Amino acid sequence: MVGEARTPETDTGPLDGLTVLDASRVLVGPFCTMQLGDLGAEVVKVERPGTGDQTRGWHPPTYGDSEEAAYYLSVNRNKRSVELDFETEAGREVFRDLASEADVVVENFRVGTMEKWDLGYETLRELNPELVYCKLSGYGEWGPDRDAPAYDIMMQARGGMMSITGEEDGPPVRIGVALADIGAGMYATQAILAALLERELGDGVGQKVDVSLLDGQVAWTSYQALNYFATGESPGRMGSKHPNLAPYQAFETRDGYVVVAVPSENIWPKFCTAIDREDLVDDPRYETNADRVDHLDELEATLAEELGDYDTDELLSVLEEHGVPASDVRNMAEVFDDPQVQARGMLERVDHPTAGEVKMPGSPMHLSRTPTCVERYPPLLGEHTEEVLHEYGYEDADVERLREAGAFGE
């Protein structure tokens, strides 16, 4: 339940006392700010009046009998929601007031939009020199495509990921989650934390952080990019196989799939012994990893025939017995039933006022003294507007004036 992840050693997270003003929506920004909230920051989610974050309407599925979209719930815990209409000067006035006291602003509007509203970095840093301002976008703030539309599938395609994902003779495949968004959200979190640390160690002045989905995907090409630079040949799709290791892939069993990983030479003979094919150890085609990679098609055919005669559990048992790294390929139900996943706190439960008990993945960041924690359920739209404004010094009369001026929508 909410708050259970804290240990008796501390009641606060490592970012306790920091305020994040989250003007982002959909996935990349909310994923970033959720991580900051998990780490203890006070996150104020600023949403469009009436409709809020677009993902509130991205259903089915909804959670339980409520109208709460599972997508929205997945990335908006540990936040409070405030409705502000940036099309009104009153709404912009409130945002500038909040930003003047915030440590971090995160936004992912189209490049130039916040500047049009006089809410961009240059304006806000005049009000708050300590501010760390994170701009998230598809292509970044400079370059020929800075104004072009960008969505996760486009970035997976343009950044090279889809060219190396899928079966060898099949079409390119999108990775099963919005990895371009999530990856950029992770880079944004790293960069924000680095900027905050530099502010504390330096002269106390903040800075602007610029993270793009395309840059993140290009960075994530990692060793595949180096394979290209080393050979001059673009790597292609290989299914679950690895371009530099063999065997290192999924094999079909009688009742499922098992992934086998042989990343070092000392594991190869153990694997061969486990499946009663010691003869493969002495086969000159497979003597070293380089040999096995060079003869991967032949090796794959041989192993597919051998492993196809096993049941999944039987094969996993024999491989484990011989010290060979392996796993079955699990669906979501099997993942969250895993005792290891549960022991690590990776299955969280939070009580929601309309959706009831909501299950979600936990935080993978485990800190010994100041652990992460789910302290707030994903907020209802505008649930905390008046509460937050009162904390910033607004009186009831001020709130009413702003309401009449359209700051919170019609």
Residue 409: what pLDDT?
A: 86
Alpha helices in 179-266 (DSSP H): 179-201, 213-220, 222-231
Q: Does residue 346 have a pLDDT over 80?
A: yes
Mean pLDDT on 250-262: 97
Q: Does residue 3 have a pLDDT over 70?
A: no
Residue 309: active-site member: no
Rounded to two decimals, what is the model's pTM? 0.93
Tokens found for residue 69? 């979209």
Nearest CA among 2, 56, 48 for reference residue 409: 48
Summarised one tens digit per residue, pLDDT across range 79-121 is 999 999 999 999 999 999 999 999 999 999 999 999 999 999 9
Higher pLDDT, 278 or 409: 278
Contact predicate 152/179, CB 8 Å: yes
> What is the three-class DSSP state of 255?
coil
Q: Does residue 1 have a pLDDT over 50?
A: no
Domain ranges of the chain: 19-220+336-404, 248-252+257-328
Residue 64: what pLDDT?
A: 86
- Type of residue at 125: R
Mean pLDDT on 64-76: 94
Give the active site residue among 181, 255, 311, 328.
181
Task: Look at phi and psi of residue 359 and say left if phi exceeds 0, alpha if psi is from -120 to 50, else beta.
Answer: beta
Contact predicate 94/382, CB 8 Å: no
Summarised one tens digit per residue, pLDDT across range 208-217 is 999 999 999 9
The CA distance from 11 to 22, in Å, is 24
Residue 8: what pLDDT?
A: 43
Residue 295: what pLDDT?
A: 97
Summarised one tens digit per residue, pLDDT across range 286-338 is 999 999 999 999 999 999 999 999 999 999 999 999 999 999 999 999 999 99
What is the pLDDT of the chain when averaged over all its residues?
Answer: 95
Contact predicate 94/409, CB 8 Å: no
Residue 10: what pLDDT?
A: 60
Residue 5: what pLDDT?
A: 47
CATH class of 248-252+257-328: alpha beta
Q: pLDDT grade, residue 189 (50/70/90)?
A: very high
| Dihedral (Cα; 65, 68, 73, 76), 10-degree rounding | -140
Nearest CA among 246, 238, 241, 243 for reference residue 265: 246
> What is the three-class DSSP state of 361?
strand
Residue 88: what pLDDT?
A: 97
Out of 3.40.50.300, 3.40.50.10540, 2.60.40.1760, 3.60.20.10, the CATH code matching 19-220+336-404 is 3.40.50.10540
Residue 4: what pLDDT?
A: 47
